[in-house]
A and B are shown apart, each in its own frame.
Chain A
Amino acid sequence: MTTTTTRPTPPVRPAQRAGGPLTGFGALLRLIARRERIRVPVWILAIAGLQSAGAAAYPGLYPDEADRQAQALIIGSNPAMKAMTGPGHGLDDYTFGAMMTNEYLGIAVIFAALMSVFLVVRHTRAEEEEGRAELVRANVTGSEAALSAALVAAVIANVALGAAVAIGMAALGIETIDWPGSILFGAAFSAVGIVFAAIAAVTSQVTQFSRAASGMAGALIGVAYLLRAIGDVMENGLSWLSPIGWAQATAAYVDNNWWPILLSLVVAAALAALAFRLAARRDVGAGLRAERRGVAEGSALLGTPVGLAWRLQRATVMWWAIGMFVFGASYGSAIDVIEDYAGNEVVADLIENLGGATLTESYLAMIMGILAIAVSIFAVTSALRPRREETSGRAEAVLATGISRTEWYASHLVISIVGSAAILLATGLGLGLAATGTSAGSSILGQVIPAMLSYAPAVWVVVGVALVLVGWAPRATLVAWIVVVHAFLMRYLGALLDLPEWMMSLSPFRHIASLPAEDFRALPVLLLTVLAVALIAIGLAGFNRRDVEAT
C-alpha cells in the first residue's frame, strides 16, 4: 500500500539538507492528489449533485409566487423551522434563489466541512499516527511541507467544490438563480470548507490520534450549526460566531454580500497560522501534551470482556453524553422565545395545522427528532469499534485467549446499546433542565425525557445495521454511515420537499412518534426493537463464520 504511493526520493546526506521548511512541498502535494484522485471528486460530485437536484425540485413544488410566499410565512414564523434552516433572508420576496440560501445552504455546507476535515486529518495526523510521516519526513521534506500540502490540497478541493456548486446551480436556468448569485453561493461552500480545513489542521496538532482530531473538528461543526440555530431563533447575534452563520450572511441571490467570505478567509488564515505555530512546538508523532504514566497492573474489571470494552469506549461515551447534554440545553434555553412567536396571526393558523400541538411542543418535537439522529452518529462509531479492534490487529490477540467470539462481540454491543440510551437520556436532561429554568413551565422535563428515550429503538436499529456489515461485509462497514446521512436528509428535506413516503420510511427514525407534538405509538417502538435484535443476531452469525482479519 505504501510502496506504491511513496515516490522514490534520492537518499540525503546531511550536507544536502539545506532546503527550507517547505522543501518537498510539491512532491507531497502530488502524492495527496494521487491518493485522493477518487475520493475527493466523489465528495464534490455528490455535494454539488445533491444541491442541484434539491434546487431542481423547487419550481415543481412552488409553481407560483403565492405558494412561495406561503412557504415564507411558515418558515419565518415557526421557530423550529428557523432553528433548522436559517435566519430568513429574502422572506418578504421569497424567490427560488432566496429559498436556496435560506433553506439549503446551512445544511449543505456541513458536507463541505466534513470533506475538508477528513481530508486534512487524513494527510496530517493520520499519516503520523501510522508512522508513514516519519518515512516522508526522513526524506527531503521540510518541517512545514506536510501541513502546507494538506492545507493547499484542501483549498484546491474546496475551490473546485465551490465551482461545481456554482455551475450546477446556474446551469439549471431557474429564474432568480442567476450567475452572480450562484458564484457567491458556491463561494460560501468553499469558505466553510476552508475554515474547517484550518480547524482540522489545529485539532490535528492538539491530539495524537487521528480519530480524536476528526472528532474534535466534527464536534466544532456541530457547535457551529448549534450557534447559528440558537442565534437565528433568539435573534441575539450568536450566529456571528459561526462559520455556517457567515455562509448564510452572504444572502446569496438576495443581497449578494461578499464580505462574509472575506471574513471566513481571514479567520481560516489565522487558524492555519496557529496550526503552524503549534506544529513547530512538537515532535513528529507526538501531541502537545507529554504522555503521562499509568498504573502497572490492570484492575479486576479490566480483565473481563465488558470491562475491557467499557475502558476502550469510555471516553467516547462520556464526551458524547456531555456534548449532547450541552446541545440539548442550548436548544432548551431558547424555549422562552418560542412562545413570543405565538403572538402573531399566521402562527395561530399554523398551530391548527399542526394538529393541536402548541408551538413549543412542535419545536421540541422537531429538535428532538434531529438530536436523536445525532446520537446515531455515536451509535455507528461505537458499533464499528469491534471492527477497528480487528483491523488494528488487537482483536486477534484477545480472541486467542479464552474468550469466545460471541462474548467479545457482545461486550462491545452492550456498550453501544446502553451507551446510546444513556446519551439520549443526557440529551433529554439537558433539553428539559434548561427549558424548566425558563418561564415556559416545569412540565417540560417530564415530557422530553420519555420522548428522547423513545428514539432508542431507532438508534439500536442503526447499531444493528452496522453490525450486520461487521459480520458479513467487514470491508464495507463505512456503508453504515449512509443510514445516518439518509436519516438526516429525510428529517430535513422531508419537511421541505414532498419526498415519497417509501423513501422517508426507510429511515428508522421516521416511524417513531414525534413526542410531544404527536401521541406516543407503542407498536413502532416494539417493532424497531425486534428489528434491532434480529439485525444484531444476523451480524453475530456472520462474525462467527468468517475469518478474523488483521488489515
Chain B
Amino acid sequence: MASILVSGVHKSFGSTIALDGLDLEVATGEVHGYLGPNGAGKTTTIRTLLGLLRADRGTVRLLDGDPWRDAVALHRRLAYVPGDVNLWPNLTGGEAIDVFGSLRGGLDRTRRDELIERFDLDPTKKGRTYSKGNRQKVALIAALASDVELYLLDEPTAGLDPLMEVVFQDVIRQLRDDGKTVLLSSHILSQVEKLCDRVSIIRLGKVVETATLLDLRHLTRTTIEADTREVPLGLDRLTGVHDVTISGHRVRFSVDSDHLDEAVRHLSTLGLGSLVSQPPTLEELMLRHYGDELAGNGREKVGQDR
C-alpha cells in the first residue's frame, strides 16, 4: 500500500514550470529519500502534498485522501518540517513547539522533553535569538514529538551540526522500526544512504528514477584498484571496463556492474597481490543522473528566479 501516490502532476508559477508531470510513490512503512538539484521541485512537491499548493493537473493521493480537500483530517495524521524554518520572534522555542503540537491535536509530553534533551535545545529562548540550526531543531522536535503515520521532512537537517545529525538519524531509524512512513528530501547523500529504503531522483520537475540503492548501484560502475605481480595489461580490451590507469604494477579502473566478473577473472590471471573494490557512491549516482547539466542547473526557464 502506498502512503503517497502522485501521478502526472503539473504545477507552474507564472512562466516557471515547477512540476512537469511528476510521478511519485512512497510505500507505507518506508523511509523514502527525495533527491534532486536546487530548484528541481522538491519543496514544491511537498507543499502540494500538504495542500498548500493546488496542482494544476494530475492526481495527488496522500494517506488515501485528497490533500487539497481533506487537508485538516490528513494533517492530523502527518507532521511536516519546512526547509526554511521561521519562528515567531516573540515566542520562545518551547512555546512554538507546543503551538504546533496543540494545533495538530496534541503531542507526547515525555517524548517532547526527551527530544529537547537529545537535541540539546534551550526552549526558553525567544524565536528571534535562535541560530539557524536551533530554529531547525524547534521544527524537528515539534514534528518528531507527535505520534503520526507520515513525516514529510524538507531538508530537515540543513544547518545541524554533525552530532545532531547522528541524533536525527537515530530518531528516524526508530520511526522506521515503528512502522512509520518518512519522505525525506535532502542534499546530504550520506544521510540518505544510511536511512533510506528507496530513493527518488527528481530533475526539472519530473522523477527520473525511483529505486532501492542496491538497484541503483547495479546501473552503474564499480571502481577497482589492484596490485598484480605481472604488469596489468589487456584490461582495456575487455568490454565494460573504463578509465584504466596503470602505474607500474598498480592498476585502477571502473567497470560496469554486469562485467565485473570477467574483469576480476582477468586480474586473477595476472597474479593478484591486493584488491580494493569501491561501490559507486550516491554522489556518483547523482552525477550520472544530472552531472552533465549541473553547471547550468539544468533548467531552461523562460522566467528567471527572482
Contact = CB atoms under 8 A, between A and B. Distances in A.
Contacts of A312: 88, 90
Interface residues of B, number: 42
B156 interface: no
Contacts of A546: 54
B99 A402 contact: no
Interface string A400-413: 11111100000000
A297 B95 contact: yes
A278 B50 CA distance: 46
A296 interface: yes
Contact of A402 (B85, B91, B104, B124): B104
A295 B72 contact: no
Interface of B is mostly: mixed
A547 B47 CA distance: 9
Given A297-B94, A396-B47, A403 B72 contact: yes
A298 B47 contact: no
Given A1-B306, A298-B95, A397-B85, A403 B103 contact: yes
Interface stretch (B75-83, B182-190, B292-300): B75-83
A208 interface: yes
Interface in A523-551: 545-548, 550
Contacts of B102: 298, 300, 302-304
Contacts of A295: 92, 94-95, 124
Interface string B12-56: 000000000000000000000000000000000001001011100
Contact of A548 (B53, B85, B92, B125): B53
A546 B101 CA distance: 26
Contact of A293 (B72, B75, B86, B125): B125
B54 A547 contact: yes
B99 A303 contact: yes
A311 B125 CA distance: 17
B9 to A, nearest CB: 14
Contacts of A547: 52-54
Nearest to B109: A297
Given A402-B75, A402-B76, A548-B52, A302 B95 contact: yes
Interface string B116-151: 000000011110110000000001000000000000
A283 B156 CA distance: 30
A209 interface: yes
Contacts of A300: 102
Given A396-B52, A400-B50, A402-B75, A302 B99 contact: yes
B92 A293 contact: yes
B98 A298 contact: yes
Give the size range of A's interface with the partner: 35 or more
B158 to A, nearest CB: 14
Contacts of B95: 294-295, 297-298, 302
A400 B75 contact: yes
Contact of A392 (B53, B86, B129): B86
Contacts of A392: 86
B199 interface: no
A293 B124 contact: yes
A394 interface: yes
Contacts of A550: 82, 84
A437 interface: no
A298 B306 CA distance: 37
B126 A294 contact: yes
Interface string A296-316: 111010111100100110010
A41 interface: no
B235 to A, nearest CB: 46
B129 A398 contact: no
Nearest to A290: B129
A222 interface: no
Contact of B123 (A296, A398, A401, A548): A296
B44 to A, nearest CB: 10
A64 interface: no
B97 interface: yes
Contacts of B290: none
Nearest to B54: A547
A291 interface: yes
B43 to A, nearest CB: 9
B224 interface: no
A26 interface: no
A212 B64 CA distance: 46
B87 A402 contact: no
B72 A303 contact: no
A354 interface: no
A291 to B, nearest CB: 5
A267 B97 CA distance: 47
B80 A297 contact: no
Interface in A345-374: none
A294 B71 CA distance: 33
Nearest to B53: A547
A394 B50 CA distance: 14
Contacts of A441: none
B248 interface: no
Interface in A252-306: 291-298, 300, 302-305
B98 A291 contact: no
Contact of B80 (A311, A394, A400): A400
B10 to A, nearest CB: 14
Given A300-B102, A401-B104, 17 more contacts: A294-B126, A296-B124, A302-B95, A305-B103, A308-B99, A311-B91, A393-B82, A396-B82, A397-B100, A401-B75, A401-B100, A402-B72, A402-B104, A403-B103, A548-B47, A548-B52, A550-B82
Interface of A: 1, 208-209, 291-298, 300, 302-305, 308, 311-312, 315, 392-394, 396-405, 545-548, 550
The 5 closest A-B pairs by CB, nearest first: A303-B102, A298-B98, A294-B92, A296-B94, A298-B95
25 contacts: A291-B129, A294-B125, A295-B95, A296-B123, A297-B98, A302-B91, A302-B98, A302-B102, A303-B102, A304-B102, A305-B103, A308-B99, A393-B84, A394-B86, A394-B87, A397-B80, A397-B86, A399-B50, A400-B82, A401-B75, A401-B76, A401-B100, A402-B72, A403-B75, A405-B71
